[in-house]
């Protein structure tokens, strides 16, 4: 009887424990089923937070850079004005960057030996002068800025302000100065064949989307400084 009583006493808690264990295992099963979903939801939320914090602003920045690549205005790139101490006079009215002087003069000499006479029309132009050229001609010709920019750079955006640009004419065909017809002169034909030897490059070729063809306008890329100045320009849009 006492043994039975003991057994009964033992049975009751055992039964209770079994009940508790069943309840626990149901909870455990529920947890096992829902855990992967909870994990997925947690991961997605965490990822979204990280994207907003890190990738969000970065992608915005990238978008802004792509949108305003190189800071071009009407197809022209911004250029700093050359420090005055780097300017040298090569003709009464023509100043250029000291780095390109020898190459430019040597080019003219070699052309002369080939019977071709190059004339230097315009070298360095200050941002102030470019300002006068751009705005005065714009108002005289009643053109909008985008039209004007096809034939002249806005102030602060001209290769001429770097001292590394030179407008060249044919001394025997002065009527073609700053005209597209310059491309039909001996001087232009000679330049196309030989200018690269002296590190000069045509800046505004026919395929330029925004700026008109300028066969007379050449730029120097024969020094590290010059290459740096025109690095953006040499990158395709």
Nearer to Zn ion by Cβ, of 167 and 170: the residue is 167
Q: Radius of gyration of the chain from Cα atoms?
A: 38
Other beta carbons less than 10 A from residue 187's beta carbon: 23
Nearer to Zn ion by Cβ, of 167 and 221: the residue is 167
Nearer to Zn ion by Cβ, of 94 and 227: the residue is 94
- Least distance (Å) from Zn ion to the CB of residue 167? 4
| Residue 125 binds Zn ion (CB under 5 A) | no
Interacting span for Zn ion (CB under 5 A) from 28-36, 160-168, 170-178, 229-237:
160-168
Q: In Å, how far are 188, 223, 224 from 227, measured between CA atoms?
A: 23, 6, 5
For residues 113 and 93, give the distance between their C-alpha atoms in angstroms, rounded to a whole number.
24
- Least distance (Å) from Zn ion to the CB of residue 196? 18
For residues 214 and 179, give the distance between their C-alpha atoms in angstroms, rounded to a whole number.
8
For residues 216 and 198, give the distance between their C-alpha atoms in angstroms, rounded to a whole number.
16
Interacting span for Zn ion (CB under 5 A) from 72-80, 90-98, 135-143, 216-224:
216-224
- Least distance (Å) from Zn ion to the CB of residue 110? 22
- Least distance (Å) from Zn ion to the CB of residue 218? 8
Other beta carbons less than 10 A from residue 219's beta carbon: 21
- Least distance (Å) from Zn ion to the CB of residue 160? 6
Other beta carbons less than 10 A from residue 153's beta carbon: 26
Number of amino acids touching Zn ion (CB under 5 A): 2
Residue of 217, 218, 219, 220 interacting with Zn ion (CB under 5 A)? 217
- Least distance (Å) from Zn ion to the CB of residue 165? 6
3-class state of residue 121 by DSSP: strand
In this structure, are residues 133 and 125 in contact, taking their beta carbons and an 8 Å threshold? Answer: yes
Q: Which residues from 21-80 bind Zn ion, rule CB under 5 A?
A: none
3-class state of residue 222 by DSSP: coil
Interacting span for Zn ion (CB under 5 A) from 8-16, 63-71, 87-95, 161-169:
161-169
Residue of 167, 191, 202, 220 interacting with Zn ion (CB under 5 A)? 167
Q: Which secondary-structure segment (H or E) carries 48?
A: helix 2-50
Interacting span for Zn ion (CB under 5 A) from 96-104, 141-149, 213-221, 229-237:
213-221
Nearest to Zn ion by Cβ — which residue?
A: 217
Shortest CA distance to 116 belongs to which of 203, 202, 193?
193
Shortest CA distance to 186 belongs to which of 117, 121, 122?
117
Applying CB under 5 A, the residues found at the interface with Zn ion are 167, 217
């Amino acid at each position: 009887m006492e043994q039975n009583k003991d057994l009964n006493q033992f049975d009751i808690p055992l039964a209770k424990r079994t009940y508790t264990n069943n309840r626990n295992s149901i909870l455990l099963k529920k947890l096992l089923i829902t855990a992967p979903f909870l994990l997925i939801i947690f991961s997605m939320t965490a990822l979204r937070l990280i994207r907003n914090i890190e990738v969000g602003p970065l992608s915005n920045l990238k978008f802004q850079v792509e949108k305003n690549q190189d800071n071009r205005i009407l197809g022209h790139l911004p250029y700093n004005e050359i420090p005055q101490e780097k300017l040298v006079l090569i003709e009464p009215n023509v100043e250029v960057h000291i780095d390109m002087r020898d190459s430019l003069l040597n080019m003219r000499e070699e052309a002369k030996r080939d019977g071709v006479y190059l004339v230097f029309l315009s070298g360095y132009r200050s941002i102030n002068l470019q300002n006068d050229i751009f705005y005065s001609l714009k108002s005289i010709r009643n053109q909008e800025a985008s039209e004007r920019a096809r034939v002249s750079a806005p102030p602060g955006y001209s290769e001429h302000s770097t001292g590394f640009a030179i407008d060249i004419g044919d001394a025997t065909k002065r009527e073609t100065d700053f005209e597209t017809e310059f491309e039909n002169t001996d001087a232009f034909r000679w330049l196309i064949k030989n200018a690269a030897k002296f590190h000069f490059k045509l800046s505004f070729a026919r395929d330029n989307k925004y700026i008109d063809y300028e066969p007379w306008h050449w730029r120097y890329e024969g020094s590290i400084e010059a290459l740096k100045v025109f690095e953006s320009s040499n990158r395709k849009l």
